[in-house]
Amino acid sequence: MRRATSGVLRFWIVPVTLVVWELLTRATESPYFPPPSRIATQFYDMWLSGPASQLLLTDGALDTFGPSLGRLLAGWVIAGVLGVALGVALGRIRGLAEYADPVLQFLRALPPPLLVPIFFVLFKIGTPTQLAVIVFGVIWPVLVNTTDGVRSVDKGFLETARVFQFSRYDILRRVILPSAMPKIFAGLRLSLSLALILMVVSELVGSNSGIGYSLLYAQQSYDYAGVWAHIVLLGVLGLLFNALFLVAEGRVLSWHANARRNV
Amino acid sequence: MLELVDLSHTYGSYRAIDRVNLKVAQGEVVCIVGPSGCGKSTLLRSIAGLIKPTGGTVLLDGKPVDGSPENLAVVFQDYSRSLYPWMSALANVGLPLRRRGLDKKRRDAAALAALEQVGLAGAAAKFPWEMSGGMQQRVSIARALAYQPKLLLMDEPFGSVDAQTREELEDLTLRVCAHHGMTILLITHDVDESVYVGDRVVVLSKAPGTVVGDLPVQLPGPRDQIHTRELDAFVRLRAEVGRLVRGMTPQRNPHGYGLETR
Ligand SMILES: Nc1ncnc2c1ncn2[C@@H]1O[C@H](COP(=O)(O)OP(=O)(O)OP(=O)(O)O)[C@@H](O)[C@H]1O
Ligand SMILES: [Mg+2]
């Protein structure tokens, strides 16, 4: 019942918002707030008027999205792998967390964009710096959730493993990790949306390619419809990533959703 | 093969079991009965090396137990926390066999055979959460059987199944274990069950649990759910155990067994 009503809500709220937005922006005629129809046209002209062989994407779109998405995904994957590995170590090695905690809390408190200058010095301008910013910024949700997940494995599961004398590898691979997987996925999902933000931020500061750079360029050429098109693009990408992630999560964690439903 | 010497355990200041002494011979099926909360699970967990008892020793084949002993399987009281929900029944049963050095094909075959024994061959691909409580407990039993331990510990394994399934599982346990020559320690709070399944019934007192009775069960085999339970000897023994569990001094002692009573 609630699902049905919210579905209907979602359907009518989008066109209504668009119409109101269109009317308001046309009435005010502010150069900073172009009407959505113009933003859409700009969006189409810049990125979606390409040949069918490129899924309608223009060359400009490929040149802009390619580096950005590549860095985003690479950064997210690296952060995911590192975050899970560190999280498992912190959660399972007794005493390590107490030592590492002050350092980690300190690092976590640093806003990643402020570290760009330092990463510049370390890695030079370009992709490595952007990757470092993304990895540094998005590793925390994965790290924290993994630590929490591997710590809160049901005692019964571990006792079974002990009685049947599973090897250390089997305990990790077949008991601890699967059991922590729901939490790890929650962390990864959070990281993915953060990665999108940091990808743009890192390109705004030190880059000569990508969506962030292109956004900056539009702004500096007073192309406000273009700026808005970029904003819409980022929103669409966020939605898309989230949807893809949920599909993957549904596959990997089907046992979890089902087990909870049956309790 | 198994010997408990003055085994005691206290949780903080709470004394759960108090100087339990028990000897179990190879191939014997010993049932431990006692009222709820008397420390039955504590006793079992000490033997399995899951807790370190605060007093006394557990000897397996004469050697003191430190950590979880080899060739030991446990059917836990709470099956829902013992089967892994991210694995099918077959994978759950086959997982401990990895340690046995079998390849995947052999493991799956052994796991399937064990599931067949408990009547779940058709549910091998099912996940624990797709099964009823009784089915899950049977998977847990199948896992222990497939492992072929020398010593099998069962903690109220049939507590959560209906009467019919319960009888089937009791018979199954007797059959399979006689076949493999396993030694079994079965914990229950059901007096009837203890007499029916056991070669011997050991009675624990109210907390702190200590041995108040140790009765051999001499019933003609093979046992049968209907006929065995009708026998005079069965009825008498059941009454005897029942009295001990309730903490009464035995009124008569028809078999002349030496009962330690407190
Ligand atoms: N981890 C623990 N910490 C503190 N007290 C505990 C712990 N585990 C058990 N106890 C206490 O020890 C006593 C014996 O517990 P145990 O689980 O061994 O009883 P049991 O005979 O198996 O009971 P049941 O028949 O209900 O399963 C209980 O009073 C319980 O409250
Ligand atoms: Mg118990």
Question: Would you say residue B138 lies in a domain?
Answer: yes
- The partner residue sitting opposite A164, judged by closest CB among B67, B73, B78, is B73
Number of domains composing chain A: 1
The answer to whether residue B261 scores a pLDDT higher than 70 is no
A177: nearest CA partner in chain B = B86
* Token pair in block for residue B28: 């014997």
pTM: 0.85
- Report which protein residue has its CA nearest ligand 1's atom 20: B37
The answer to whether residue A9 scores a pLDDT higher than 90 is no
Give the side-chain half-sphere CA count within 13 A for B198.
29
Protein residues with C-beta less than 5 angstroms from the ion ligand 2: B 41, 77
Average pLDDT, chain A: 89
Residue of B9, B15, B36, B42 best suited for mutating to test ligand 1, as the one with most atoms within 8 Å of CB: B42
B235, amino acid identity: V
- The verdict on a CB contact (< 8 Å) between B98 and A262 is no
d(CA B96, CA B140): 12
Instruction: Give B262's pLDDT tier (boundaries 50, 70, 90).
Output: very low
- The partner residue sitting opposite A170, judged by closest CB among B78, B86, B98, is B98
Phi and psi at residue A80, to the nearest 5°: -60, -50
pLDDT mean over A111-120: 81
What is the three-class DSSP state of B222?
A: coil
Share of chain A above pLDDT 70, in %: 95
**pLDDT value for A204:** 85
Q: Residue B74's beta-bridge partner residues?
A: B153
What is the three-class DSSP state of B87?
A: coil
Count of Cβ atoms closer than 10 Å to residue B186 Cβ: 26
Question: Would you say residue B214 lies in a domain?
Answer: no
pLDDT mean over B20-48: 91
* Residue B4, min C-alpha distance to chain A (Å): 19
Q: Which CATH number do you get for residue A94?
A: 1.10.3720.10
User: In terms of residue numbers, what domain contains B53?
Assistant: 2-38+49-186+198-209+248-252
Question: Would you say residue A202 lies in a domain?
Answer: yes
**pLDDT value for B223:** 81
ipTM: 0.87
With contact defined as beta carbons under 8 Å apart, do A17 and A9 qualify? no
- Report whether the peptide linkage leading into residue B208 is cis, meaning its omega lies within 30 degrees of zero: yes
Of the bound ligands, which one is closest to the alpha carbon of residue B209? Answer: 1
Q: Residue B58's beta-bridge partner residues?
A: B4
A118-174: per-residue pLDDT in tens?
Answer: 887 888 777 888 899 899 999 999 999 999 999 999 999 999 999 999 999 999 999
**pLDDT value for A97:** 83
The answer to whether residue B79 scores a pLDDT higher than 60 is yes
Angle of the A127-151 helix axis to the A96-109 helix axis, nearest 10 = 140
- The verdict on a CB contact (< 8 Å) between A170 and B147 is no
B222-258: per-residue pLDDT in tens?
Answer: 788 888 888 888 888 888 888 888 876 655 544 544 4
Question: Would you say residue A44 lies in a domain?
Answer: no
DSSP annotation of A209? S
Pairing of strands B63-64, B2-11: unpaired
User: What's the sign of the alpha-carbon dihedral A137, A138, A144, A150?
Assistant: negative
A228-249: per-residue pLDDT in tens?
Answer: 999 999 999 999 999 999 999 9
Question: Would you say residue A82 lies in a domain?
Answer: yes
* Token pair in block for residue A120: 């510049």
User: In terms of residue numbers, what domain contains A193?
Assistant: 61-262
Question: Would you say residue A25 lies in a domain?
Answer: no
- For residue B40, the CA-to-ligand 1 centroid distance in Å is 8
What is the three-class DSSP state of B173?
A: helix
Pairing of strands B151-155, B183-188: parallel
A261, amino acid identity: R
**B98 vs A contacts (CB less than 8 Å):** 166-167, 170
d(CA B17, CA B207): 7
- Atom nearest to B204 CA in ligand 1: 21
pLDDT mean over A37-64: 87
The DSSP annotation for A14-56 comes to: HHHHHHHHHHHHHHH--TTS--HHHHHHHHIIIII-S-GGGTT
Instruction: Give B62's pLDDT tier (boundaries 50, 70, 90).
Output: confident
The answer to whether residue A190 scores a pLDDT higher than 60 is yes
d(CA B82, CA B114): 17
Number of domains composing chain B: 1
B196, amino acid identity: Y
Chain B contact for A165 (CB, 8 A cutoff): yes
Chain B contact for A52 (CB, 8 A cutoff): no
Chain B contact for A167 (CB, 8 A cutoff): yes
Pairing of strands B200-204, B211-216: antiparallel
**pLDDT value for A5:** 66
Q: Which CATH number do you get for residue B72?
A: 3.40.50.300
The answer to whether residue B29 scores a pLDDT higher than 60 is yes
- The verdict on a CB contact (< 8 Å) between A255 and B82 is no
With contact defined as beta carbons under 8 Å apart, do B202 and B211 qualify? yes
Q: Which of B16, B71, B88, B87 is nearest to B46 (CA)?
A: B16
